[in-house]
Each structure stands twice: as structure tokens, then as C-alpha cells.
């Protein structure tokens, strides 16, 4: 007989393929999520806040910017970064979003495209969690099509002047540092904007029914004046933001499995203890079919994520590999959340169970960082060689 | 200051224990963890190390799997990791002799351990090791510090708490401590990975394990819990109250 202590569902024992270091990092984050996140998450969602203690704890554990090396960054593997995302998202997608944005979208571009001075100045404080970062790419009218962004930068001799607006920016209002993509003479460049730069504001977007424990903001630039040394020298064009998104999407492909596992765990426990017609509902074929389907999809997703992690660590990957994993794993996680809600019956809508929260979160996760459809088009272009994003070109 | 912390790896409190043919089936244990009281001892040892610029030696006696726990101890700050093979160990006095031999080898000034292991609940390690070392032993402590050449410790007494001072080589066996074991961080984990675990056998330590007058005859699981009783309706309140008072003794 095989027994299971808590342990997230791992039917094929995929985690046995992790290194000892990766497993120790997993256990550290898993314990923290069990002790500090899960008991407090519903309250954070109700109040619509990202608890500041979580920022401090992530910095103390040293997991921010996990796969980056040097400048006070952890220097872990991409696989370890994936594992961290999965464990965080078992708590909540908003928490994982915080870590994704900090590490992959704000620290990574400074690490890869920044000057030595920029790296030395920003990265240690961001790795320790002292400074929160955000990433400004999406605009109110340019989501899937960021190349046509309106935000622009002008060279004014001794400074740059930024004008425009960004939207759907995770961490925006609480960030000290924003990595903002804007057009300079028609070419997309990255700029580091600091919280107190003149002409910069980051009002919070209210009224979300999803990612309620995560801060989402607009970034507004009205003749925002920044010093000349704030442009990222190492990249031009969409390659800059897309490199960041590749890393963040990689983390999401693991993270979504955390949500799926949380929903599976809850559905299994509920089905085992809920009695209808004198027997636990887990003893009925329709419910077992649902649980078996969840296990099947989670196991496939785990193998996909693990293998992608190995490819990423070996440096033999293409963005399409990441698109497939992000698209698949978020898709199954959302469907698993819906089926789990079904198993929980009416109880599934209560915040006593994590189901509805994960489900609502995953609706955002399905859309951000490349919508499900856009990832299909990326795969479609890979198969056919024909891009189907636009009728022009 | 050399601080020895004695650790034991036990089945996690969430793990299901299966007994087959009169013995605990170790292969059925899905998760092994550091015994909870040992965690308090380790945390206290780390605090003493930080305050006195000491060296913390984490010692375990067990099968190979228990090395993982030493790496976990290194991740939170243990400096030296010693694994003693439990091959040939027949009873707890053997374990105590092996532990004491390592403690002597490292000239430990103070020895911290849990009051009992979460699996066997024997409770003999601390006092047993102290006996062999001819050291002072204070049990059921919640905290220990080193001030003015003395170890100051707190333990429960008949009517509250007592503060005990000890000098010389001392053994402290921890009950629930005042501070939970600190969480590791990535830097600690990466350093722990590089830290060597020194393995020793009874032969290396010159401990003779040939004689023992104790045999573990068999192990049995606890009896199944009796089914609960269910009462429906307000008219049963007096019965329930009477049962809670007289049978369950909870009110």
C-alpha cells in the first residue's frame, strides 16, 4: 500500500528528478506557503492587498530573481525557478505573479540588458525584496499587439522625456522601480523609471474579480523626465520585452500546476468526506472519472514543465516550447478548477475552499503573458511558417 | 565554544505508519523529518553559536537516509556534519555510546538534544549521553543561553518555571522551545550542498556493540478508535452532558 503525506500530487514521481538543492528549495517555499500564505490568503483577497510581509519573506528566503546569477541574485537553475513558482501558486496566483514580475520582468531585463552601473545599483536591492519592481509594456489599446505601442521617449539632450500610459501593470503602485518600454525615434527601448520621477504616477486599478491579492495598476507618464543613464543599453526592439516574457511564461507553466494541485487536493478531500445517498461521493463513477482526469492532466503538465525546465537549463529551447507549456498548463489548470468546483457542489463557491479563488485567478493567467489564442498562433506559425497575427505584412 | 546538537530523523508526523510482521515497515514511510523536539534544540544551538561565535556540530546516528537531515541542518547554519552509521546498534545504550564518542572527539562544551524522539519516545538519549560523559543534565528545557561562564536554562517546575544555572560540560534535553527552528534560505541551501558529511562507524569510534540485553520483540499499531456516538435532538442534551462528564472526562 502506498501512503501519501501531504505532498502535492506527483503520480509519476517527477520531483524525484529534481536535484537535492531544488528539492530543498521546494520544501522551504512549500512550508512557508503552508504556514504563512494559505492561512492568510482569503483575508488578503477580501481586503484586496498584497501583504507586505510576503515581500519581506520572499526576500529573506532569497528566491526573487531565482535563476539570475551575480549582483546579489540567487543563481538557481531555471528548474528551481519553476518549482518556486509552482509552490507559490499553490498558495495563490497573485503571489506567484508578484514573484514572476519581480524576477522575470523587472530584474531580468536589468540583468541582461542593463549597464554595469544599473545592475550594481538595482539588482541587489530587488533580490533582497527591499525594492519592488514592475514592468510596463501593455497599453490600454495595445495588448496582444505591443509593437504598435504609443508610449514614446524623446531625447532632450541631458534627459529623456516619456509620454504615454501603460495598463494592467502588476505591482505598479507598490513598485520603486518600473522597467518601461517606449519608442525612441520609432524604436522600442527599455527605460528604468523610479517611483518619484517627476511626471510619473501609478494609480491602482480597482474592481478586479481575479488576482485580488495582487496589486494591478496603470502607469502614467506626463512629460516624465528621467536621466540619460536610465535607458537599458543592451537591447532594441521587441526582443527586449519578449525575452522577459519568455522567462515569466516559463514560470507560469509551472505555477499553473500549483493551482491545479491545490484544486485537486481540495476536490479529492471533499469527495472522500462528502456523503450523499449513504456513501462518499468519491465512491461514485462520475466523480472518480473527474478525479482521474485531473490526475491525468496534472501528470502530463508536470512532465511538460519538468522537461521544459531541463531544456531551459541546458539552453536548448525555443520560445514556441514555452508557448506550448504556458498555454497547456494554464488551460488544464483552469479546467481542473472548474471541475473541482463541480465536485464541491455549492460549497465550491465559498471561500472556505480555495477553488473559486484559483478559478478566478486562472482566468487572468490564461489571458496575461500572451493570451491562450496568441500562443496558439505562435505554435501555428511554427508549424506552417505563416504568421496569422495580422492581415498586413 | 563547541556546541553539539544531537538529531534524529523520524517519520514525519503526517506520515502513515504501517506495521508488517510485527515491525514498522520503514519503506512505507513516505516522508522523513527531523524530530520536532530536536528542531528546538537545533534552533537554541544556532542562537548560542551566533551569540558566542561558536561552532555547531550536528550529529546523527542512523541509516544513510538520515544524512539528508544533516544537510537540512547545514542549510540553517550547522558547521560540521557527522553521520554515525547505526549498523550493529541493538539498543539505545549503543546509540548513546556512539554519540558520546563523537562528542568527546570534538571536545563539545555543551550538548543539546530533544527530550525524546517523535518515533520511539524513548527519552533516554540526553540523560544517557550525560551519564557516559559524566556531564550535568537538565531535561525538559525550553531555552538555554550562555552568560558569564554559565549555561542558564528554563524548565517547568511544580508551580511554574524554574531557572537553572549549570557550569562545565552540560547536556540539555529540549521540550517545546521558545523559538521555532528558523527557515532556511537559498544562500544557506547552496552552502549546505557543498558541505561534506563525515561518516563514522562504531569501529572508527572504538565502540563495542557486541553485547546487549534488550531485544525488541514486536511492534503493534494502536487499537482502532471506537466509532463515535451520534445524538439527534435537544432531548439528548442531558445524556450527552453526562457522557462528556463521566465517560469522556472532558467537562
| pLDDT tens digits along A323-332 | 999 999 999 9
Q: Which of B15, B31, B189 has its CB closest to that of A21? A: B189
pLDDT given for residue B232 in this prediction? 87
How close A32 gets to chain B, by Cα (Å)? 8
pLDDT given for residue A7 in this prediction? 65
pLDDT at A90 over 60: yes
Chain A CB contacts of B118 below 8 Å: none
- In b/e form, how buried is each residue of A268-287, taking b as 16+ CB within 10 angstroms? bebbeebeeeeeebbeeeeb
Look-up: residue for cell 512505507? Answer: B28
| pLDDT tens digits along A350-389 | 999 999 999 999 999 999 999 999 999 999 999 999 999 9
**Residue B52: strand pairing partners:** none
CA angle B6, B11, B12 (to 5 degrees): 100
Across the interface, whether the CB atoms of A25 and B189 are under 8 A apart is answered yes
* DSSP per-residue string spanning A272-306: HH-EETTEEGGGSHHHHHHHHHHHHHHHHHHHHHH
CA distances from A342 to A36, A101, A269, A291, A358 (A): 28, 32, 14, 11, 14
Chain B CB contacts of A31 below 8 Å: 183
Q: In whole angstroms, what is the distance from residue B126 CA to residue A43 CA? A: 44
Which residue of chain A is at minimal alpha-carbon distance from B191? A21
How confident is the model over B162-177, as a mean pLDDT?
Answer: 96
pLDDT given for residue A68 in this prediction? 98
Which residue of chain A is at minimal alpha-carbon distance from B192? A21
Long-range contacts of B216-221 (CB under 8 A, 24+ apart): B217/B22, B218/B22, B218/B23, B219/B19, B219/B22, B219/B23, B219/B24, B220/B19, B220/B22, B221/B17, B221/B19
Chain A CB contacts of B12 below 8 Å: 5
Q: CB contact, 8 Å: B193 with chain A? A: yes
Q: CB contact, 8 Å: A136 with chain B? A: no
- Picking from A111, A90, A95, the residue whose alpha carbon sits closest to that of residue A31 is A90
| pLDDT tens digits along B191-218 | 999 999 999 999 999 999 999 988 888 8
Q: In whole angstroms, what is the distance from residue A334 CA to residue A363 CA? A: 7
How close A31 gets to chain B, by Cα (Å)? 9
pLDDT at B11 over 90: yes
How confident is the model over B68-81, as a mean pLDDT?
Answer: 98
Which residue of chain B is at minimal alpha-carbon distance from A81? B186
Chain A CB contacts of B72 below 8 Å: 24
A32 by DSSP, 3-state: which? Answer: helix
pLDDT at B222 over 50: yes
pLDDT given for residue B17 in this prediction? 86
Residues ≥6 apart with Cβ < 8 Å to A41: A91, A92, A95, A213, A354, A357
Looking at the domain that runs over A133-230, which CATH code has it been given? 2.40.110.10
pLDDT given for residue A4 in this prediction? 38
Question: Which band of pLDDT confidence, cut at 50, 70 and 90, is reported for residue B13?
Answer: confident
Mean of the per-residue pLDDT values for chain A? 96
Across the interface, whether the CB atoms of A20 and B75 are under 8 A apart is answered no
- Tally: H helices and E strands in chain B: 7, 14
Where in chain A are all domains bearing CATH 2.40.110.10? 133-230
Q: In whole angstroms, what is the distance from residue B56 CA to residue A289 CA? A: 53
Q: In whole angstroms, what is the distance from residue A387 CA to residue A379 CA? A: 10
Which residue of chain A is at minimal alpha-carbon distance from B20? A1
Chain centre to alpha carbon of residue A204: 19
pLDDT at A3 over 50: no
pLDDT at A2 over 60: no
Query: Which of the pair, B222 or A38, is modelled with greater confidence?
Result: A38
Q: In whole angstroms, what is the distance from residue B12 CA to residue A390 CA? A: 56
Yes or no: say if B35 and B71 are a contact pair by the CB < 8 Å rule: no
How confident is the model over B48-77, as a mean pLDDT?
Answer: 97
| pLDDT tens digits along A130-141 | 999 999 999 999
| pLDDT tens digits along A240-274 | 999 999 999 999 999 999 999 999 999 999 999 99
How confident is the model over B172-200, as a mean pLDDT?
Answer: 95
Yes or no: say if A201 and A220 are a contact pair by the CB < 8 Å rule: yes
How confident is the model over B141-161, as a mean pLDDT?
Answer: 94
Lowest mean pLDDT among A113-127, A170-184, B49-63, B229-243: B229-243
pLDDT at A347 over 70: yes
How confident is the model over A87-107, as a mean pLDDT?
Answer: 98
Beta strands A275-276 and A216-227 are unpaired
Residues ≥6 apart with Cβ < 8 Å to B229: B243
pLDDT at B130 over 80: yes
Question: Which band of pLDDT confidence, cut at 50, 70 and 90, is reported for residue B159?
Answer: confident
Question: Which band of pLDDT confidence, cut at 50, 70 and 90, is reported for residue B24?
Answer: confident
ipTM above 0.95, yes or no: no
Which runs of consecutive H residues, i.e. helices, occur in chain B?
Answer: 36-52, 67-76, 92-105, 125-133, 186-194, 202-205, 237-246
- Picking from A171, A206, A23, the residue whose alpha carbon sits closest to that of residue A99 is A171
- In b/e form, how buried is each residue of B66-92, taking b as 16+ CB within 10 angstroms? bbbbbbbbbbbbbebbbbbbbeebbbb
Give A 56-85 residues with CB within 8 A of chain B: 60-63, 66, 74-76
Question: Mutate which of B10, B17, B31, B189 to disrupt the A interface (most A C-beta within 10 Å)?
Answer: B189
Burial label, A344 (beta-carbon count in 10 A; 0-12, 13-18, 19+): buried
How confident is the model over A9-16, as a mean pLDDT?
Answer: 95
A4 by DSSP, 3-state: which? Answer: coil
State percent of chain B over pLDDT 90: 74
The cell numbers describing B117, all together, are 524522539
Q: CB contact, 8 Å: B230 with chain A? A: no
CA distances from A265 to A213, A217, B125, B177 (A): 22, 33, 39, 32
Q: Does the domain spanning A239-384 belong to CATH 1.20.140.10?
A: yes
How close A7 gets to chain B, by Cα (Å)? 9
Chain A CB contacts of B15 below 8 Å: 3, 5
- Picking from B42, B83, B116, the residue whose alpha carbon sits closest to that of residue B197 is B83
The cell numbers describing B208, all together, are 563495542
Class in CATH terms, A14-127: mainly alpha
CATH architecture, domain B2-205: 3-Layer(aba) Sandwich (3.40)
| pLDDT tens digits along A221-235 | 999 999 999 999 999
Give B 84-123 residues with CB within 8 A of chain A: none
pLDDT given for residue A393 in this prediction? 65
Query: Which of the pair, B119 or A170, is modelled with greater confidence?
Result: A170
Residues ≥6 apart with Cβ < 8 Å to A100: A85, A170, A248, A251, A252, A255
pLDDT at A206 over 60: yes
Which residue of chain A is at minimal alpha-carbon distance from B72? A24
Amino acid at each position: 500500500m502506498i501512503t501519501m503525506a501531504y505532498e502535492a500530487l506527483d503520480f509519476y514521481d517527477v520531483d524525484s528528478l529534481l536535484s537535492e538543492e531544488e528539492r530543498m528549495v521546494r520544501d522551504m517555499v512549500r512550508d512557508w506557503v503552508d504556514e504563512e500564505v494559505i492561512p492568510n490568503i482569503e483575508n488578503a483577497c477580501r481586503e484586496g492587498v498584497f501583504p507586505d510581509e510576503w515581500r519581506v519573506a520572499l526576500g529573506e528566503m532569497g528566491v526573487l530573481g531565482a535563476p539570475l546569477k551575480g549582483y546579489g541574485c540567487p543563481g538557481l537553475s531555471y528548474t528551481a525557478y519553476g518549482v518556486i513558482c509552482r509552490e507559490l501558486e499553490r498558495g495563490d496566483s497573485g503571489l506567484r505573479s508578484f514573484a514572476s514580475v519581480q524576477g522575470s520582468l523587472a530584474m531580468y531585463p536589468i540583468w541582461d540588458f542593463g549597464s554595469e552601473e544599473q545592475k550594481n545599483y538595482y539588482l541587489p536591492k530587488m533580490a533582497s525584496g527591499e525594492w519592488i519592481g514592475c514592468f510596463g509594456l501593455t497599453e490600454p489599446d495595445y495588448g496582444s499587439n505591443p509593437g504598435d505601442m504609443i508610449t514614446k521617449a524623446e531625447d532632450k539632450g541631458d534627459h529623456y522625456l516619456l509620454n504615454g500610459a501603460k495598463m494592467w501593470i502588476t505591482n505598479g503602485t507598490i513598485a520603486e522601480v518600473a522597467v518601461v518600454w517606449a519608442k525612441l525615434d520609432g524604436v522600442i527601448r527599455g527605460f528604468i523609471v523610479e517611483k518619484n520621477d517627476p511626471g510619473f504616477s501609478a494609480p491602482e486599478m480597482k474592481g478586479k474579480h481575479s488576482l485580488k491579492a495582487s496589486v494591478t495598476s496603470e502607469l502614467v507618464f506626463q512629460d516624465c523626465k528621467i536621466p540619460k543613464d536610465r535607458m537599458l543599453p543592451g537591447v532594441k526592439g521587441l526582443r527586449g520585452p519578449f525575452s522577459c516574457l519568455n522567462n515569466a511564461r516559463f514560470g507560469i507553466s509551472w505555477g499553473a500546476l500549483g493551482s491545479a494541485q491545490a484544486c485537486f487536493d481540495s476536490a479529492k478531500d471533499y469527495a472522500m468526506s462528502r456523503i450523499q445517498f449513504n456513501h462518499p461521493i468519491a465512491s461514485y463513477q462520475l466523480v472518480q472519472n473527474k478525479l482521474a482526469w485531473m490526475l491525468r492532466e496534472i501528470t502530463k503538465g508536470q512532465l511538460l514543465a519538468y522537461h521544459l525546465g531541463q531544456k531551459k537549463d541546458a539552453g536548448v529551447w525555443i520560445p514556441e516550447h514555452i508557448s506550448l507549456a504556458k498555454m497547456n498548463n494554464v488551460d488544464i489548470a483552469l479546467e481542473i478548477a472548474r471541475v473541482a468546483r463541480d465536485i464541491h457542489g455549492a460549497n465550491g463557491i465559498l471561500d472556505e475552499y480555495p477553488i473559486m479563488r484559483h478559478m478566478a485567478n486562472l482566468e487572468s493567467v490564461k489571458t496575461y503573458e500572451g493570451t491562450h489564442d496568441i500562443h496558439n498562433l505562435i505554435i501555428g506559425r511554427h508549424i506552417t511558417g505563416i504568421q496569422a497575427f495580422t492581415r498586413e505584412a | 565554544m563547541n556546541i553539539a546538537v544531537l538529531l534524529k530523523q523520524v517519520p514525519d508526523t503526517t506520515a502513515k505508519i504501517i506495521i508488517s510482521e510485527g515491525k514498522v515497515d520503514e519503506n512505507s514511510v513516505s516522508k522523513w523529518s527531523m524530530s520536532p523536539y530536536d528542531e528546538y534544540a537545533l534552533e537554541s544551538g544556532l542562537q548560542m553559536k551566533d551569540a558566542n561565535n561558536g561552532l555547531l556540530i550536528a550529529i546523527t546516528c542512523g541509516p544513510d537516509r538520515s544524512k539528508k537531515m544533516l544537510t537540512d541542518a547545514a542549510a540553517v547554519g550547522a558547521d560540521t556534519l557527522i553521520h554515525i552509521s547505526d549498523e550493529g546498534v541493538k539498543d539505545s545504550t549503543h546509540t548513546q555510546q556512539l554519540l558520546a564518542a563523537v562528542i568527546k572527539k570534538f571536545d563539545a562544551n555543551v550538548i543539546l538534544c530533544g527530550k525524546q524522539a517523535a518515533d520511539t519516545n524513548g527519552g533516554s538519549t540526553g540523560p544517557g549521553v550525560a551519564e557516559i560523559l559524566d556531564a550535568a543534565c537538565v531535561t525538559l528545557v525550553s531555552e538555554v543561553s550562555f552568560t558569564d561562564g554559565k549555561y542558564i536554562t528554563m524548565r517547568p517546575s511544580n508551580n511554574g518555571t524554574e531557572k537553572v544555572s549549570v557550569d562545565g560540560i552540560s547536556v540539555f534535553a529540549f521540550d517545546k522551545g521558545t523559538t521555532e527552528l528558523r527557515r532556511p534560505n537559498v544562500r544557506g541551501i547552496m552552502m549546505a550542498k557543498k558541505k561534506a558529511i563525515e561518516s563514522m562507524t562504531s569501529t572508527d569510534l572504538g565502540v563495542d556493540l557486541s553485547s546487549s540485553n534488550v531485544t525488541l520483540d514486536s511492534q503493534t499499531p494502536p487499537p482502532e478508535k471506537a466509532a463515535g456516538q451520534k445524538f439527534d435532538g435537544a432531548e439528548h442534551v442531558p445524556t450527552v452532558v453526562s457522557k462528556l462528564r463521566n465517560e469522556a472526562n472532558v467537562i
